Amino acid sequence: MPLDPARLRIGACPCLSGEQYTECCGRFHRGDADAPTAEQLMRSRYSAFVVLDGDYLLRTWHPDTRPAALDLDPDIEWRRLDILATHRGGPLDAEGTVEFAAHYRSEGERGVQRENSRFLRVDRRWYYLDGDVG
C-alpha cells in the first residue's frame, strides 16, 4: 500500500535524502519551491510516485514529451531510490541526466526500475524530458 501523504508530513522523505518529507520533496509537491537541480527533481518525482501525486508528475514533465494523463498504480509499493550517477544538472546548467534504480514491490514480487533520465531547465525550472529504461 502506498504511503499516506498525511503520515509523511511528520516522517522521513521517501526519496531517502535523510530530511523530513515536509522540508524535502513535500515543499516541491505543494508548490512552495521548485527543485534547484535535476537530481532533486528526480528525487521529488520518485516521491510523487510513492504518494501517488500524478499532478506533480505532469507539472514537472517537459511539455514536448508529457503524456495527456497518468494512471498511477496504487498496488505498486515503491521501497527505495538509489541515485547511481548524475551528469550536469546543477543550478546553473541547462540540461542534465540522473541514472537511478527505483526498488518496488508488486503482487508480492520485488522489482527494480532502472533508468537514465534526461532533464532540461527552462526559465530556471527543471523538467523531466525522457529516459532510457534499462
- How many structural domains does the chain have? 1
Residue recorded with cell 502506498: 2
Of 118, 92, 95, the closest CA to residue 36 belongs to: 92
Average pLDDT of 32-56? 97
- Distance, first Cα to last Cα, the chain: 25
Average pLDDT of 45-57? 96
pLDDT computed for residue 4 by the predictor: 52
How many of the other CB atoms lie within 10 Å of CB of 26? 21
The whole-angstrom distance between residue 58's C-alpha and the CA centroid of its chain comes to 11
Residue-range definition of the domain harbouring residue 104: 5-133
What CATH number is attached to the domain comprising 97?
Answer: 3.10.450.50
Instruction: Give 9's pLDDT tier (boundaries 50, 70, 90).
Output: low
